[in-house]
């Protein structure tokens, strides 16, 4: 029997039981003779509740983290009979198979695997192509690393590729009923896979395609019995449309609510547990009432013994269910936490680079860290409120049954508490916004100071930073004080109403008992007081929830400020993936940075052949780095066209473009890890030999071999144990390891000492072999050997040509050249050329 079946049965059982037993409680109270019946009822409810919760808990543990329902394990066992089967001759049933988008997917050499090992990967790639996504086999292999990828890994890959995917268990008949023409991925035993491409409902067979078979092979007709031998129901459904809309959905309360709602089964079980606990918690109250009313009056020891036994049993069940409910809440919190973390990082990685450049790292990290408040709200207050609602819904009718007047007063007291809190909500929200901003400022100052500690220390800026920190702390302290003062008011004002629900009820109840014709029994009064307190507390919590929602909203707006930006997801997952040769052309390209008035590039046009070594020169701010940024797709809102091998850059898949480029900047970040890890940079399929080859080409081999542990030497964050030249050569090796067709060196040698620079320059020609290279440098001596040099000035092209021609004909270039080589002039003459007119062309 499945967990799902059991849970459904549990719900029906429990609801039925409650419907029967709740009125019985009332009857029991009224007659005072139903204790044995009640005891049996509680035992039954408790038993069913505990078993249900534990069962649900197991289900939760079994689920994968990433996918919504990725609990279908990778199977082991015999492989698919598909390949051995005869094709489905004449399969022209009512639901004929749809055409596959391509041949059996061609995987990169490192992605091929053998036979069944890559069947799931091949099937996933076929489906992606069907939905118009052209996946990169290398990337697919890096994400789906195992030979027999699990459903969770496949779902993660589909989502990353911009598709909606869901792992689910289906049976043969459900598959037959699906009307969609899109192929469905069946995960067969032994890591194998099959694609459902059609159905012949007249014959009652599915038309399956082997993902590794050539496209011209017809699909195989498979009946239920045969499929069952290799398939236990593990299925992946993939869709195109919903993916992008969900991934791009704003990061707001709606999205989070959907995320929580995605855990319906846990929520349901928590609710069941809460209802059961509430019912069990009414029991002691009823028992006390009975004790006071019956046992004492009639000195009935038998009833007392029975009551004690029932109370002990109820207590044990309450403990068990409370434990199970807590476990469920912990699991829920962990799952939400993990999902939020994954979603946030995923979104963050798809934001464009220029967004990170425009905003301070400290501010960004602080704002993103605010998500913990949202998480706490979702898994803390919101959950307890969820539980409270169950309690109030169950207890209120009981209270009204016991004494309507008293119940009304409790409700009115709770209403007054809500009104008081609601009145303070506006000012509290405004104060919260100020507090969050002040905390953000303080957090940014701290993070910035840590990031910039080198500069702070070397420029002796400690006291300036300390003064700023003091200011931020004082500002926050002041606001915290104001917040404390403000929030103190509602807390004090609600006290009389809170107290009323406990002590006031007793007094009023006694008064009613004395003055009414139908006096409330002593037991009833005490029982009412105990239950009244249990209702008032949750009602007050409900009111306080309003305040917490405000706080969560504020925190969410901080996170949303970072994450709700236009992402590059579409460009990263869609577009052409051509094989590059390396021809580059700029056609009338004009580009302006956001917030600036003057264009950084102004009608730039030039073209170079594949394999060209292109130098970019010009004064500071002339637009050299901007050209490389456009080439890397960092900035895409330019006019004109940038083309690679004649294809407009904006039509090329961004991930593919960046993977095809090697880039070395002036300051390169090396990750914590060994030298080898840094050169390989986590790229799958690359070996130690590749790392050695790249290091040799980058001129890094000799210093690596001199390091204490060679390629295994550990590099700290920020690589303080390497010199600038060593760091740059490692960065070059890292860029060269994928053998890029385009290599960009942007001021890669500018900060190096002459010896390190000479070392790298000496290798330039070797590095350039077989690829197009774009080198930005202020030192013209590094560019003498370039095939072409592009001279820029104030965002315009001044000239393009080899060094010897430029020295002759380009005044700007000649001026820069002479400035830099004056000291080497054998005649010792200065300024043989007149100062150039910078607007002059050619």
Ligand X SMILES: Nc1ncnc2c1ncn2[C@@H]1O[C@H](COP(=O)(O)OP(=O)(O)OP(=O)(O)O)[C@@H](O)[C@H]1O
Segment contacting ligand X (CB under 6 A): 105-113, 249-257, 386-394, 622-630?
Answer: 622-630
CB of residue 428 to ligand X, shortest distance in Å: 39
Q: Enter the DSSP assignment of 576.
A: B
Residues 302, 463, 620, 827: which binds ligand X (CB under 6 A)? Answer: 620
Whole-Å CA distances, 632 to 228, 617, 668? 50, 18, 16
Alpha helices in 403-460 (DSSP H): 404-451, 453-458
**How far is it, in rounded angstroms, from Cα 596 to Cα 634?**
17
Residue among 105 and 618 whose Cβ is closer to ligand X:
618
Task: Output 76 or 620, the one with its CB closest to ligand X.
Answer: 620
For ligand X, which stretch binds (CB under 6 A), given 51-59, 399-407, 568-576, 623-631? Answer: 623-631
Question: Which listed residue (63, 335, 624, 796) binds ligand X by CB under 6 A?
Answer: 624
- Angle of helix 382-402 relative to helix 522-563, nearest 10 degrees, comes to 160
Comparison of 63 and 624: residue with beta carbon closer to ligand X: 624
Segment contacting ligand X by CB under 6 A, of 59-67, 319-327, 518-526, 619-627: 619-627
Q: Where in 128-147 is the site for ligand X (CB under 6 A)? A: none
Residue 757 buriedness (CB in 10 A; 0-12 / 13-18 / 19+) = buried
Name the residue with tokens 């709606």.
254
Q: How near is the Cβ of 761 to ligand X at its closest, in Å?
A: 18
Q: Looking at beta carbons only, is 621 or 673 nearer to ligand X?
A: 621
Residue reference for tokens 């013994």 = 305
Smallest gap, in angstroms, from Cβ of residue 643 to ligand X?
20
Cβ of residue 618: shortest distance to ligand X, in angstroms?
Answer: 5
The tokens of 834 are what? 């007149």
The interface mask with ligand X, positions 586-615, x = CB under 6 A, is: -------x--x---x---------------
Q: Look up residue 311 and give its two tokens.
A: 């109370």
Q: Confirm if 219 and 91 have CB atoms less than 8 A apart.
A: yes
State which residue, 594 or 755, has the beta carbon closest to ligand X.
594
Site for ligand X in 625-684 (CB under 6 A): 625-626
Please give the structure tokens belonging to residue 652: 């090329």
Please state the closest distance from residue 838 (CB atom) to ligand X, in A: 13
Of 267-275, 624-632, 657-665, 695-703: span binding ligand X (CB under 6 A): 624-632
- Phi–psi pair at 742, nearest 5 degrees: -130, 125
**Would you say 90 or 595 has its CB closer to ligand X?**
595
**Is the CB of 275 or the CB of 630 nearer to ligand X?**
630
Spatial distance between the Cα atoms of 456 and 668, rounded to a whole number of angstroms:
21
Q: For residue 176, how many other CB atoms are within 10 A of its CB? A: 17
Q: How far is the CB of 604 from ligand X (least distance, A)?
A: 11
CB of 834 to ligand X, least distance (A): 24
Binding of residue 149 to ligand X (CB under 6 A)? no
* Nearer to ligand X (CB atom), residue 244 or residue 751: 751
CA–CA distance, 60 with 471 (Å, rounded to integer): 48
Least distance from ligand X to the Cβ atom of residue 842, Å: 20
In the bound state with ligand X, the residue whose beta carbon lies nearer, of 463 and 596, is 596
Among 370, 622, 772, 789, binds ligand X (CB under 6 A): 622
Q: Which residue bears the tokens 């409270």?
A: 388
**How many residues in the shown chain lie near ligand X by CB under 6 A?**
12
**Considering only residues 102, 103, 357, 637, which one is a binding residue for ligand X as defined by CB under 6 A?**
357
Beta-carbon contacts of 415 under 8 Å, excluding residues fewer than 6 positions away, are: none
Query: Smallest gap, in angstroms, from Cβ of residue 601 to ligand X?
Result: 8
Minimum Å distance from CB 353 to ligand X? 10
CB of 235 to ligand X, least distance (A): 47
Which residues, 6+ apart, have CB-to-CB distance to 221 below 8 Å? 88, 91, 200, 203, 205, 206, 207, 208
Percent helix, strand, coil in the chain, to 5, is 60, 10, 30
Alpha carbons 283 and 313: distance in angstroms, whole number: 11
DSSP 645-684: TTEEGGGB-HHHHHHHEEEE-SS-PPPSEEHHHHHHTT-T
Q: Which residue has the tokens 């496949």?
A: 154
Question: Binders of ligand X among 510-549, rule CB under 6 A?
Answer: none
- Which residue lies nearer to ligand X by CB, 624 or 734? 624
Contact (CB, 8 A) for 571 and 654: yes
Task: Give least dist CB 797 to ligand X, A.
Answer: 13
Gap between the terminal Cα atoms of the chain: 83
Contact between 399 and 528 (Cβ < 8 Å) = yes
Nearer residue to ligand X within complex by CB, 236 or 790:
790
623 touches ligand X (CB under 6 A): yes
- One symbol per residue from 686 to 705: x for binding ligand X (CB under 6 A), - otherwise; what is it? --------------------
- Interface residues with ligand X (CB under 6 A) are 357, 593, 596, 600, 618, 620-626
């Amino acid at each position: 029997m499945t967990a799902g079946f059991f849970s459904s049965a549990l719900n029906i059982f429990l609801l039925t039981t409650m419907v029967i037993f709740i009125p019985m409680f009332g009857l029991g109270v009224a007659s005072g003779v139903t204790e044995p019946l009640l005891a049996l009822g509680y035992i039954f409810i408790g038993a069913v509740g505990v078993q249900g919760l534990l069962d649900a808990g197991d289900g939760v543990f079994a689920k994968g983290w990433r996918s919504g329902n990725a609990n279908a394990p990778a199977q082991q066992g015999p492989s698919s009979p598909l390949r051995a089967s005869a094709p489905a001759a004449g399969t022209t049933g009512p639901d004929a198979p749809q055409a596959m988008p391509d041949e059996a997917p061609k995987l990169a050499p490192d992605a091929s695997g053998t036979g069944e090992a890559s069947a799931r990967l091949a099937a996933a790639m076929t489906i992606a192509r069907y939905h118009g996504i052209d996946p990169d086999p290398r990337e697919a292999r890096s994400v789906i690393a195992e030979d027999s990828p699990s459903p969770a890994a496949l779902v993660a890959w589909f989502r990353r590729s911009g598709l909606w995917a869901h792992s689910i268990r289906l049976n043969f008949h459900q598959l037959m009923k699906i009307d969609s023409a899109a192929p469905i991925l069946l995960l067969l035993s032994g890591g194998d896979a099959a694609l459902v491409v059609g159905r012949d409902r007249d014959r009652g067979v599915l038309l399956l395609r082997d993902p590794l078979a050539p496209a011209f092979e017809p699909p195989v007709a498979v009946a239920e019995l045969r499929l069952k031998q290799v398939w236990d129901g593990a299925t992946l459904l993939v869709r195109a449309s919903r993916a992008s809309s969900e991934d791009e959905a704003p990061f707001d309360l709606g999205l989070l609510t959907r995320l929580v709602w995605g855990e319906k089964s846990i929520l349901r079980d928590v609710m069941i547990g809460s209802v059961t606990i509430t019912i069990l918690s009414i029991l002691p109250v009823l028992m006390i009432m009975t004790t006071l009313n019956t046992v004492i009056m009639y000195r009935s020891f038998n009833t007392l013994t029975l009551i004690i036994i029932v109370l002990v049993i109820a207590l044990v069940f309450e403990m068990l269910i409370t434990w199970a409910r807590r476990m469920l809440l912990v699991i829920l919190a962990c799952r939400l936490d993990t999902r939020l973390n994954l979603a946030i990082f995923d979104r963050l990685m798809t934001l464009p680079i220029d967004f990170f450049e425009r905003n301070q790292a400290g501010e960004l990290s602080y704002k993103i860290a605010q998500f913990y408040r949202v998480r706490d709200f979702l898994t803390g207050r919101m959950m307890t409120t969820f539980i409270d609602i169950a309690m109030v819904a169950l207890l209120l009718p009981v209270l009204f049954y016991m004494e309507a007047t008293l119940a009304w007063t409790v409700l009115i007291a709770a209403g007054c508490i809500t009104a008081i809190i609601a009145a303070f909500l506006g000012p509290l929200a405004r104060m919260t916004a100020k507090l969050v901003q002040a905390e953000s400022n303080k957090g940014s100052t701290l993070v910035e100071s840590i990031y910039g500690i080198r500069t702070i220390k070397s420029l002796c800026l400690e006291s300036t930073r300390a003064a700023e920190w003091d200011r931020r702390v004082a500002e926050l302290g002041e606001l915290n004080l104001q917040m404390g003062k403000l929030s103190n008011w509602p807390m004090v004002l609600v006290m009389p109403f809170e107290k009323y629900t406990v002590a006031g009820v007793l007094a009023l109840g006694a008064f009613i008992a004395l003055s009414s014709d139908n006096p409330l029994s002593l037991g009833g009064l005490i029982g009412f007081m105990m239950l009244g307190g249990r209702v008032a507390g949750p009602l007050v919590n409900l009111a306080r929830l309003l305040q917490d929602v405000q706080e969560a909203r504020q925190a969410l707006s901080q996170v949303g400020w970072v994450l709700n930006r236009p992402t590059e997801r579409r460009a990263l997952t869609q577009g052409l993936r051509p094989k590059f040769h390396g021809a580059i052309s700029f056609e009338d390209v004009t580009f302006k940075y956001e917030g600036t008035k003057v264009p950084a590039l102004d009608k730039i046009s030039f073209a170079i052949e594949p394999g060209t070594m292109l130098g970019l020169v010009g004064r500071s701010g002339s637009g050299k780095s901007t050209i490389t940024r456009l080439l890397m797709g960092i900035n895409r809102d330019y006019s004109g066209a940038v083309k690679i091998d004649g294809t407009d850059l904006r039509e090329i898949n961004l991930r593919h473009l960046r993977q095809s480029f090697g880039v070395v900047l002036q300051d390169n970040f090396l990750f914590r890890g060994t030298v080898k890890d840094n050169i390989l940079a986590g790229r799958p399929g690359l070996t130690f030999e590749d790392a050695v080859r790249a290091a040799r080409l980058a001129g890094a081999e000799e210093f690596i071999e001199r390091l204490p542990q060679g390629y295994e030497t550990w590099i700290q964050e920020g690589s303080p144990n390497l010199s600038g030249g060593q760091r740059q050569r490692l960065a070059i090796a890292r860029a060269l390891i994928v053998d890029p067709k385009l290599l960009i060196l942007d001021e890669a040698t500018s900060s190096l000492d002459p010896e390190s620079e000479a070392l790298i320059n000496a290798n330039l020609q070797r590095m350039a072999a077989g690829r197009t290279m774009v080198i930005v440098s202020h030192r013209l001596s590094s560019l003498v050997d370039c095939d072409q040099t592009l001279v820029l000035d104030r965002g315009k092209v001044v000239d393009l040509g080899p060094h010897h021609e430029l020295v002759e004909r380009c005044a700007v270039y000649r001026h820069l050249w002479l400035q830099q080589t004056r000291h080497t002039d054998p005649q010792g003459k200065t300024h043989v050329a007149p100062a150039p007119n910078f607007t002059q062309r050619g």
